[in-house]
């Protein structure tokens, strides 16, 4: 048994079981007979096992797991030949895309060390990531297009826990991260399925209101920030549970607090600063300050990880434009925890954020029936990347601007008006 397979007594087994149940019944809403493709870190085996058991109890056809290991990932960076960093297992992703095409559901357990690659050559990290993005594209298209029900859920691995709680012993760190995950994922009560039903209803009321307002743009102001984000023509706000093209209503992210939509890739102007560090493929980017002109980032700085940020921005043509805008009140349970998780699934739900890169066609009216040209025409961005970073805080004011130019306050000091 390696350190990565240790059982931590500080993880409440009852809550872990409820998290597995929530992932399958709420996150995926897995249907009888439906196949499931599951990826997880080896260190998250206890949750992977719970999920597979729940999936079969729910009538899963066939569950296929693929596990990743941090030491194995590092071995490539330490000993792999240079040419390997421009390669990725396209054959595997083609198979995954084929499975998604046959209505296989997708579940990923996150929990890897967010700083795993922090000491590796950033050029190699960027090359490996780009090769992977290209190879993954056929499968990612089906996720981004919401062809199938999918879900992300988190497990408190020891390597991640020690990043969040660096001063604690392994056991205490894991216990504290476990409680934070359980509480944010709403499994710290007897009936998580009911808790999610009412949370989804609250997010649904918010998106309905925003969709009725049909704002033309949003304006953010705060320290270092004066930014106008145009919204795509025919944009639709989403949040909480959503219905995939296969007809299954699922909760892709557990936890989730955001309502989000598609910005207009050519109508973003002004400057904005990040309010939380961004953990990007093993590197930390902090103190981001960028300026947009006609939708494009024309100046970019970062207090830390600027070289990584520049590589992200140079990934492709769409990497300098926005693909998502999301609103989260500062009082969200994840923000109130005061923790920095170094993981987008959690940190993006602690603050309002924007994402560079690919837009979700599902956030446009009839988006799934539009051609790539029609989507671009409405302002939806296209890119191989989708990188969320936080711009919300208790100091940000947000206004909605209508097509006629009238201004309506939406958030003051980070809270819904």
Pick between residue 273 and residue 322 the one whose CB is nearest to Zn ion: 322
The residue count for binding Zn ion (CB under 5 A) is 7
Pick between residue 52 and residue 398 the one whose CB is nearest to Zn ion: 398
Q: What are phi and psi of 176, to 5 degrees?
A: -70, -40
Pick between residue 236 and residue 324 the one whose CB is nearest to Zn ion: 324
Name the residue among 342, 365, 304, 389 with its Cα closest to residue 177: 342
Pick between residue 348 and residue 399 the one whose CB is nearest to Zn ion: 348
Q: Which segment (63-71, 126-134, 295-303, 380-388) binds Zn ion by CB under 5 A?
A: 380-388
Q: Does 257 bind Zn ion (CB under 5 A)?
A: no
User: Residue 326 Cβ, how far from Zn ion at the closest point, in Å?
Assistant: 4
Here the tokens at position 393 are 């805080």
Q: Does 60 bind Zn ion (CB under 5 A)?
A: no
State how far the Cα of 193 lies from the Cα of 22, in Å rounded to an integer.
Answer: 7
User: Residue 363 Cβ, how far from Zn ion at the closest point, in Å?
Assistant: 10
254 within 8 A of 23, measured Cβ to Cβ? yes
**Binding positions for Zn ion, 106-135, rule CB under 5 A:** none
User: Residue 31 Cβ, how far from Zn ion at the closest point, in Å?
Assistant: 26
State how far the Cα of 230 lies from the Cα of 401, in Å rounded to an integer.
Answer: 9
State how far the Cα of 197 lies from the Cα of 299, in Å rounded to an integer.
Answer: 43
Q: Does 326 bind Zn ion (CB under 5 A)?
A: yes
Integer-rounded Cα radius of gyration of the chain: 20
Pick between residue 388 and residue 399 the one whose CB is nearest to Zn ion: 388
**Angle at which helices 170-184 and 13-22 pack, to 10 degrees?**
40
Choice from 113, 257, 324, 399 touching Zn ion (CB under 5 A): 324
User: What 8-state DSSP symbol labels residue 6?
Assistant: P
Pick between residue 175 and residue 240 the one whose CB is nearest to Zn ion: 240
User: Residue 324 Cβ, how far from Zn ion at the closest point, in Å?
Assistant: 5
Q: Does 355 bind Zn ion (CB under 5 A)?
A: yes
Here the tokens at position 46 are 């206890």
Pick between residue 196 and residue 260 the one whose CB is nearest to Zn ion: 260
Q: Which segment (13-21, 65-73, 258-266, 296-304) binds Zn ion by CB under 5 A?
A: 258-266
SS3 216: coil
Choice from 388, 398, 411, 414 touching Zn ion (CB under 5 A): 388
Q: Does 347 bind Zn ion (CB under 5 A)?
A: no
User: Residue 386 Cβ, how far from Zn ion at the closest point, in Å?
Assistant: 6
Here the tokens at position 245 are 């093209």
Q: Where are the alpha helices (DSSP H) in 80-157?
A: 90-101, 122-144
Here the tokens at position 14 are 């009852």
Give me the residue label for tokens 């897995």: 30
357 within 8 A of 384, measured Cβ to Cβ? yes
Residues that bind Zn ion (CB under 5 A): 258, 260, 324, 326, 348, 355, 388
């Amino acid at each position: 048994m390696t350190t990565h397979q240790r059982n931590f007594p500080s993880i409440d087994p009852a809550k872990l079981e409820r998290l597995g149940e929530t992932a399958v019944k709420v996150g995926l809403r897995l249907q009888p007979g439906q196949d499931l493709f599951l990826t997880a870190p080896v260190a998250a085996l206890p949750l992977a096992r719970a999920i597979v058991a729940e999936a079969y109890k729910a009538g899963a056809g066939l569950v296929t797991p693929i596990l990743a290991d941090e030491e194995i990932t590092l071995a490539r960076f330490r000993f792999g030949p240079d040419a390997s960093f421009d390669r990725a297992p396209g054959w595997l992703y083609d198979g995954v895309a084929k499975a998604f095409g046959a209505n296989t559901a997708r579940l990923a357990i996150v929990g890897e060390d967010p700083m795993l690659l922090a000491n590796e050559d950033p050029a190699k990290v960027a090359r490996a990531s780009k090769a992977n993005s290209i190879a993954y594209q056929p499968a990612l298209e089906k996720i981004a297009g919401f062809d199938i029900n999918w879900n992300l859920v988190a497990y408190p691995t020891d390597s991640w826990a020690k990043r969040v709680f660096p001063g604690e012993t392994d056991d205490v760190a894991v216990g504290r991260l476990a409680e934070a995950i359980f509480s944010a994922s709403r499994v710290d009560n007897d009936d998580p399925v009911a808790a999610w039903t009412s949370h989804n209803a609250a997010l649904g009321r918010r998106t309905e209101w925003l969709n009725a307002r049909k704002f033309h743009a949003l304006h953010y102001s705060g320290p270092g920030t004066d930014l106008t984000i145009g919204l795509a023509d025919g944009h639709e706000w989403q949040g909480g549970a959503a219905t995939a093209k296969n007809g299954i209503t699922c909760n892709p992210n557990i936890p989730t607090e955001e309502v989000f939509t598609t910005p207009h890739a050519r109508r973003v102007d002004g400057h904005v600063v990040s309010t939380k560090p961004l953990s990007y493929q093993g590197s930390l980017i902090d103190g981001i300050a960028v300026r947009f002109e006609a939708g494009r980032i024309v100046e970019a700085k970062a207090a830390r990880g600027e070289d990584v940020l520049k590589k992200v921005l140079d990934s492709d043509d769409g990497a300098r434009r926005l693909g998502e805008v999301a609103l989260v009140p500062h009082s969200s349970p994840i923000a109130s925890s005061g923790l920095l998780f170094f993981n987008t699934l959690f940190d993006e739900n602690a603050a309002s954020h924007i994402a560079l890169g690919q837009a979700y066609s599902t956030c446009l009216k009839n988006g799934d029936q539009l051609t790539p040209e029609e989507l671009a025409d409405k302002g939806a961005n296209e890119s191989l990347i989708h990188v969320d970073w936080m711009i919300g805080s208790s100091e940000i004011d947000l206004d909605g601007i209508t097509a006629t130019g009238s201004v309506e306050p939406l958030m003051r000091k980070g809270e819904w008006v």
